[in-house]
Amino acid sequence: MNNVRTMIATTALPYANGTIHLGYILEAVEADIWVNFQKMRGNICYFIAGSDAHGTPVMIQAEKHGLSPEAFITKMAREQLADIEQFGITFDNFYTTHSPENEQLSAAIYQQLQKAGAIIRKTIYQAYDPLKNMFLPDRYVKGTCPRCNSPDQYGDNCEVCGATYGSSELLDPKSVLSGATPEARATEHLFFDLPHYADQLKKWISGPHVIKEIQNKMQEWFDAGLQTWDISRDAPYFGFKIPEEKDKYFYVWLDAPIGYMASFKNFCAKHPGLDYDAFWKQDSKTELYHFIGKDIVYFHTLFWPAVLMASEHRLPTQVFVHGFVTVNGEKMSKSRGTFITAKQYLEKLNPEYLRYYFAAKLNGGIEDIDLNFKDFMQRVNSDLIGKIINIAARTASFIGKFFDNQLATQLTNKPLWELFIGKQSEIADYYETRDYARVLREVTALADKANEWIAEKKPWQIAKEQGGSEELKEIATSALNLFRILIIYLKPVLPQLALSVESFLQIAPLQWQDINTPLLAHSIKSFTPLMTRIEEKQITEWVQ
């Protein structure tokens, strides 16, 4: 490996008003695999996230639960992180946007935006609920999309066509809180001058920062003309007060992405050797990667880079975008019974199965990922357990039974071993570009070759006819070395399985460079099953 890279990777911040669902787990798994790979390669990669804590929805949910917003978000963040961690996702720092660091950074960035002349003051007419006596945030108005006429869309953007707009543009608007038709009332708001940064943004997107499909989508927004962006909200609102303003708060989408910076600042405070400014200054030599869903592309590829430009901070190196999770071909929906929370999954199934399945579907594109239960069971049972883990399961017992768990001093299948290690650059490239589906296809193809070789050598027959011969020892040792290489290739995807294999082989945590050195003349533990197959009954019970 050449120079060590230094980087920050983030996931979008899960919103603090509900439990974690499988859509967020997809994103966290995609990012965690990439971060694990970078760390295995010897790069420095800080994995940063937190809970997105502000906004009217949080305030209303807290009220429903009889809690203060602060107590509610603390409780939710704790629950969310517990679910996330059970999927083997290891953040270096998981924080909250409701923090002193974020309040200070949001105020400082806002003042830089003012200084840059990027803040415009306008009187607007906003939706007001006459029954609840409050201004309604866009998400609390629903109606028909003014662009594509899809019904039941939120007041800020359409989930069908992706258009963004103000709630006043909705057709047939209704308050989500009371069902009343909102009244338009005058109020003064603060706007960020997004159109001013159009040329800089066009230049930025023409680089390698987003994939082609996202560039094309952004071009549509440029063609339609960028709009100034309302960054203020009226009281009552749970968030940060805007400096020198009366009863005005930062809109959640201003301080939420600044939460990436705040979470990292909090991390730096715990690690005194880390220089926060070196990562966020305009000329930073470090790298910054955001993993997000395609529903928040607008915020991360237009608003956020423009705010960073205006406040003289560094821009993201790349914004990685993924699709939604569908279940058996249908959009996740509570009414259709296809909305699955992380907790519901964890009650019945091994989290590493889902990591493996998501990896088998992720290819660096923005297509939706379908969780098809039949396919899910087939891939785990047939590929992961039946092919990959099977290599160890069918050969390790010979080492225990005849050779006191001691591996041979040489390999007997040098050409096959060289074929396995020869795939490392190709597989590393697939990880780098988040084409995990290709990683798993390559690993499965290698597992097929190993199983074919074992079938040809018939170690069970040698054991039966000759007992503990040197030939048997070398065949079993060679098979376990092939298995070890596959586990190195799979470790970013299946960290828990890798941990079990490291314990079984009695070795230090596997690193990428270990691929090139075979494990010989080494004592291992007796083999015990590393994973169990999924029974159809488990899936049926889970679905019910």
Secondary structure (3-state) at 109: helix
376-393 per-position pLDDT tens digit: 999 999 999 999 999 999
C-alpha 497/C-alpha 487 separation (Å) is 8
CB-CB contact of 242 with 192 (8 Å):
no
The sign of the CA dihedral 473, 474, 475, 477 is: positive
For residues 88 and 135, which has the higher predicted lDDT (pLDDT)? 88
Is beta strand 318-322 parallel, antiparallel or unpaired with respect to 248-250? unpaired
State the Cα–Cα distance between residues 534 and 384, nearest whole angstrom: 11
Q: CA 52 to CA 253: how far, in whole Å? A: 9
DSSP state of 301: I
Residue 336 above 80 pLDDT?
no
Asked if pLDDT for residue 135 goes beyond 90, the answer is: no
What was the pLDDT predicted at 337? 63
Share of the chain above pLDDT 90, in %: 86
The pLDDT score that the predictor gives to residue 1 is 47
| CB distance 259 to 93 below 8 Å | no
How many whole angstroms from its chain centre is CA 196?
A: 32
- Flag whether pLDDT at 146 surpasses 60: yes
From residue 379, alpha-carbon distances to 352, 357, 361, 404 in Å are 12, 7, 11, 34
**Given this model, what pLDDT does residue 2 score?**
60
Who's near 66: CB < 8 A, 6+ residues apart? none
The 10 Å Cβ neighbour count of residue 115 is: 12
What is the pLDDT averaged over residues 86-104?
Answer: 98
Rg over alpha carbons for the chain, rounded to the nearest Å, is 27
Evaluate if pTM is beyond 0.85. Answer: yes
DSSP assignments along 167-179, one per residue: GGG-EEEEETTT-
Give me the domains of the chain, ranges plus CATH numbers: 6-118+193-348 (3.40.50.620), 381-536 (1.10.730.10)
